[in-house]
Structure 1
Amino acid sequence: MTDFSPESFATIGPKEFAQLVKSTPDSKLAEVMGNENRSKILDEVFNRMPTLFRADRAGATQAVIHWNITGGPGGSTDTYETVIENGACTVTNQPVREPKLAMTMDPVTFLKVVTGDGNPMMMFMTGKIKAKGDLGLAAQVAKLFDIPKN
């Protein structure tokens, strides 16, 4: 499958989505994530987060994480809130809580992070991911989710 669109994404699992992201040129990812399909794709990714959450790895972690995804239509930024507490993960695209960690990245970087196609620590060190708040938590976020291995 080479059609990177919300319609194709809705019918495939995380592993297939990871392969799709890996096989799609960055320029195409950026194009799709800069148009009207962006919110459908982001909603789909974030709606899957609670099902990929690894409570066994979270332990007593209590955190509010804001994901700021830049590069939207007209230069807009979308912010999603992930709340990890009491061994569960919830997500909303209407952030209301003060974040323990806020991460800002472009949409291509975001897709690479959530599909395991990029090294989040290296992306942070090279400035592709900007983090404010608990940097120790930032280093642990990927371990809290069942991210496909490429």
Structure 2
Amino acid sequence: MSDATKAIESMKAKFNPAAAQGLDLVFGFRIDEDKHYNLIVKDGTCDIQEGENPDANVTLVMDSETLEGIVSGNTDGMQAFMQGKLRAEGDMMLAMKLSELFPV
């Protein structure tokens, strides 16, 4: 299991179902340009899928080191974005919702 896979799975463990009530969203992750993951948040549930999803509402692009830092709480997501280590494709405002859905 890759470090990126472990980081995505640890996000699911931190999932806050109360913050996801009534939501139907797909958060895509492109890690190291070749690994694709999706967190599918729907009505208080969260599921992980591997592979690219063209229906993702927002796709976050970063390297595995940045992902691990954000998930562990050692790296601030907004700071990573401002430093160019994290890029959002799609609805950027939804990326802000991740901190509510997956608190550190």
Task: Give the TM-score, by structure 2 length.
Answer: 0.87
Report the counterpart of residue 87 of structure 1 in structure 2. Answer: 44
User: Which amino acid in the other structure matches residue 55 of structure 2?
Assistant: E
Aligned residue-pair number: 104
* Deviations 1:81-109, CA, capped at 9 Å, x for gaps: 11001110000113345110001001111
Establish whether residue 42 from structure 1 lines up as the match of residue 4 from structure 2.
Answer: yes
Q: Unpaired runs of 5+ in structure 2?
A: none
Larger Rg over CA atoms: 1
* Deviations 1:34-82, CA, capped at 9 Å, x for gaps: xxxxx43222222333332101122322211111111xxxxx5211111
**Which structure has greater helix proportion?**
1
% identical equivalent positions: 24
Report the counterpart of residue 117 of structure 1 in structure 2. Answer: 74
**Which structure has greater strand proportion?**
2
Distance 1:120 1:43 in 2: 18
Establish whether residue 141 from structure 1 lines up as the match of residue 88 from structure 2.
Answer: no
Distance 1:45 1:107 in 2: 9
Q: Which secondary structure state, in structure 2, belongs to the residue aligned with residue 98 of structure 1?
A: coil
Q: Is the 8 A contact 2:21 2:42 kept in 1?
A: no
